[in-house]
Amino acid sequence: MRAQDIPEAAEAADPSTSPERLGDIADAYPELHPILVLNPACPDDLRQWMRATTPEANEAWEDHLAAERAQREAASSQTGRQSQYRSASSNKKGRGRVGRWLVLGVVIISVIAVIRGCGSLVQQVLSSSGSDTSTSATPSVSPAPANAISASSASRFQSPTRNISCEIYDDRASCSIYARDYGDAGLEDCDGTYFSMEIRDSASPACGSEFATDGTAMTLEYGESVKSEGFACSSADDGMRCWNQSNGHGFKIAREGYSTF
């Protein structure tokens, strides 16, 4: 029987399945061993037993470790090159930047003073206007953290629990989540196995799409970030956050819920 034809396949891949239940599935369905070894909830002794008894399970685990190791080595190399470049550039431009920032600081303080002084007048004009007016939000630049990993070496990544998997490119960032409690929270959910979100100019659900869900993506540890030319994502213990660096719009996705900003 093929693994995808076994009803328990979803439980085998679900990180919320209890270790005891994973053991029962492993005993009953050797065909699911390659899926079970990749489940983060799988106990180490059970994983070692499946690797020793099922060649396909051992091969799946070795492929996963090799892919993760290769992506981390590439990310480390990229970060090292960027650090060397920043160090060389800062030695040449440091004093010039200090001068420019001092001038800019004086300008900003002056502008703030003017705005505060005119604030009451602006509020009165707006409140007394009898006609509807439309305003457009000014884009808020939100750059990636300075130590973010380059997407050129980590375009596919997942949370430490492997419940959230994401892709990031120059024109978008997207994530999918498997185990979730959106129905209990009263949130709109996708009908498929995964719930997905995507950010381009603005963030929205992407039902029907799956992003980096094959289990081979690099693990983005809590506190780490990834960036592309236009987008960035950060991993935290309360979920994954991705945003457009040029306008600050994005989304946050977690097991308990999701939001856009």
* 157 and 256 both lie in a single domain: yes
Q: What are phi and psi for residue 158, nearest 5 degrees?
A: -145, 160
| Average pLDDT of the segment spanning 144-151 | 94
Collapsing DSSP states into helix, strand and coil, what is residue 232? Answer: strand
Res 170: pLDDT: 95
* 178 and 79 both lie in a single domain: no
Domain count across the chain: 2
Q: CB-based contacts of 111: which residues, under 8 Å, 6+ apart?
A: none
Q: Are the CB atoms for 34 and 60 separated by under 8 Å?
A: yes
Instruction: Tell whether the model's pLDDT for residue 123 goes beyond 90.
Output: no
Last residue of a domain, one of 43, 60, 83: 83
Q: Is residue 253 part of a domain?
A: yes
Res 74: pLDDT: 78
Q: Which of 223, 227, 256 is nearest to 243 (CA)?
A: 227
SS3 content of the chain, % helix, strand, coil (to 5): 40, 20, 40
- Give 210's pLDDT tier (boundaries 50, 70, 90): very high
Q: Is residue 216 part of a domain?
A: yes
Q: Is residue 180 part of a domain?
A: yes
Residues 158, 213, 17, CA angle at the centre, nearest 5°?
Answer: 80
| Average pLDDT of the segment spanning 147-151 | 94
Instruction: Tell whether the model's pLDDT for residue 156 goes beyond 50.
Output: yes
Q: Is residue 106 part of a domain?
A: no
Q: Is residue 45 part of a domain?
A: yes
Give the residue numbers spanning the domain of 192: 149-260
* 74 and 169 both lie in a single domain: no
The sign one gets for the Cα dihedral 23, 29, 32, 33 is: positive
- Give 122's pLDDT tier (boundaries 50, 70, 90): very low
* 76 and 157 both lie in a single domain: no
Instruction: Tell whether the model's pLDDT for residue 153 goes beyond 90.
Output: no
Average pLDDT of the residues of the chain: 82
Q: Are the CB atoms for 33 and 56 separated by under 8 Å?
A: yes
From CA 122, how far away is CA 109, in angstroms rounded?
19
Q: Are the CB atoms for 25 and 8 separated by under 8 Å?
A: yes
- Tell me the percentage of the chain whose pLDDT exceeds 90: 46
* 153 and 229 both lie in a single domain: yes
Last residue of a domain, one of 83, 107, 125: 83
| Average pLDDT of the segment spanning 18-28 | 90
The pLDDT tens digits for 75-118 are: 777 666 665 656 555 555 555 554 565 555 555 656 555 555 54
The pLDDT tens digits for 28-75 are: 888 889 898 898 989 989 999 999 999 988 998 888 888 788 888 877
Instruction: Tell whether the model's pLDDT for residue 251 goes beyond 60.
Output: yes
| Average pLDDT of the segment spanning 1-6 | 71
Q: Is residue 139 part of a domain?
A: no
From CA 72, how far away is CA 62, in angstroms rounded?
15
Q: pTM of the predicted model, to two decimals?
A: 0.50
| Average pLDDT of the segment spanning 232-239 | 96
Q: Is residue 8 part of a domain?
A: yes
From CA 14, how far away is CA 36, in angstroms rounded?
9
Q: What are phi and psi for residue 87, nearest 5 degrees?
A: -65, -45
Q: What are phi and psi for residue 259, nearest 5 degrees?
A: -155, 160
Q: Can you read off the two tokens belonging to residue 169?
A: 């490119």
Q: Is residue 120 part of a domain?
A: no
Last residue of a domain, one of 83, 109, 129: 83
For residues 124 and 189, the model is more confident at: 189
Q: CB-based contacts of 140: which residues, under 8 Å, 6+ apart?
A: 247, 248
Residues 47, 49, 55, CA angle at the centre, nearest 5°?
Answer: 90
Instruction: Tell whether the model's pLDDT for residue 150 goes beyond 80.
Output: yes
| CB burial of residue 196 (10 Å; 0-12, 13-18, 19+) | buried
CA–CA distances in Å: residue 202 to residues 1, 242, 251: 44, 11, 9
- Give 136's pLDDT tier (boundaries 50, 70, 90): very low
* 78 and 164 both lie in a single domain: no
